Amino acid sequence: AQKVTQAQTEISVVEKEDVTLDCVYETRDTTYYLFWYKQPPSGELVFLIRRNSFDEQNEISGRYSWNFQKSTSSFNFTITASQVVDSAVYFCALTRGEQGGSEKLVFGKGTKLTVNP
Amino acid sequence: NAGVMQNPRHLVRRRGQEARLRCSPMKGHSHVYWYRQLPEEGLKFMVYLQKENIIDESGMPKERFSAEFPKEGPSILRIQQVVRGDSAAYFCASSPPAGTQYFGPGTRLTVL
């Protein structure tokens, strides 16, 4: 069975601080995909990143970066120089890779990030 | 390039009524997924459909819930005889084959 654990329920930081959101996953599959989604207060779900299990390169996109480590089954997300607009609930998710990722997403419970001015 | 469309955005039903939630996938996407977000819980998978086929319904409650994705028109999630415990946000996602799932804005269902 697949499982995603986001141990941090809530995080509060002051603007311009760096913050890391942790994600630990469990799967027996050798091929799988990992995702991060953002849910701002308005409620929609915004796709941030997809990573397959064979690509352990870290990724940077502007102020966002992701650290994928298979040895620890972790896919952590760092926001550098946080801004108030980063305030949201962030979900880490996992899917099997047999169908190229076209399978159900298993979500963590989310981490609520509050960035204070 | 329109994203995933869901309607209505908000739906209020009384206990015992039926709720019909609609989802139009992104252009070029042939796969549709439904998820439910209950208060204080995370997002839970309900069902995965392709045109005219249910591929995985392992997350669907056994009774009162059904889903379809007809050859023409949007995907429909139908909840019969709603109860208060059905109050939740229902999200639809779509993807191309072997692609990333993109989500719609959700339908907030309130059962009185």
- Predicted confidence band of residue B106 (pLDDT cuts 50, 70, 90): very high
Beta-strand relationship, B102-103 and B88-95? antiparallel
| Cβ of residue B58 closer than 8 Å to a chain A Cβ | yes
- Secondary structure (DSSP) of B18-73: -EEEEEEPPTT--EEEEEEE-TTS-EEEEEEEETTEEEE-TTS-SSSEEEE--SSS
Chain A residues with CB-CB distance to B100 below 8 A? 35, 47, 50, 101
Half-sphere exposure of B28 (CA within 13 A, CB side): 9
Rounded to an integer, the average pLDDT of B91-108 is 94
From A38, A45, A86, A102, select the one nearest B106 (Cα to Cα): A45
Question: What gap in Å lies between CA A1 and CA B48, rounded to an integer?
Answer: 18
Partners of residue A94 on adjacent β-strands: A34, A106
Residue B81 distance to chain A (closest CA, Å): 26
- Cβ distance of A109 and B97 shorter than 8 Å: no
Rounded to an integer, the average pLDDT of A96-109 is 84
Q: What is residue B1's predicted lDDT score, i.e. its pLDDT?
A: 54
Question: What gap in Å lies between CA A113 and CA A95, rounded to an integer?
Answer: 24
- pLDDT tens digits along B59-85: 999 999 999 999 999 999 999 999 999
Q: What is residue B98's predicted lDDT score, i.e. its pLDDT?
A: 83
Question: What gap in Å lies between CA A4 and CA A110, rounded to an integer?
Answer: 10
C-alpha to C-alpha distances, B91 to A12, A48, A84, A103, nearest whole angstrom: 27, 17, 25, 15
Question: What gap in Å lies between CA A93 and CA B10, rounded to an integer?
Answer: 26
From B52, B41, B43, select the one nearest B92 (Cα to Cα): B43
Residue of A35, A43, A100 with shortest CB distance to B89: A43
Q: Exposed/middle/buried for A100, CB within 10 Å: 0-12, 13-18, 19+?
A: middle
Q: What is residue A56's predicted lDDT score, i.e. its pLDDT?
A: 86
Token reading at A92 = 């880490």
For residue A70, report the phi and psi dihedrals to the nearest 5 degrees.
-65, -30
Q: What is residue A97's predicted lDDT score, i.e. its pLDDT?
A: 82
Q: What is residue A113's predicted lDDT score, i.e. its pLDDT?
A: 98
Token reading at B103 = 């989500």
Q: What is residue A57's predicted lDDT score, i.e. its pLDDT?
A: 86
- pLDDT tens digits along A42-100: 999 999 999 999 988 889 999 999 999 999 999 999 999 999 999 999 999 999 987 66
| Cβ of residue B56 closer than 8 Å to a chain A Cβ | yes
- Predicted confidence band of residue A101 (pLDDT cuts 50, 70, 90): low
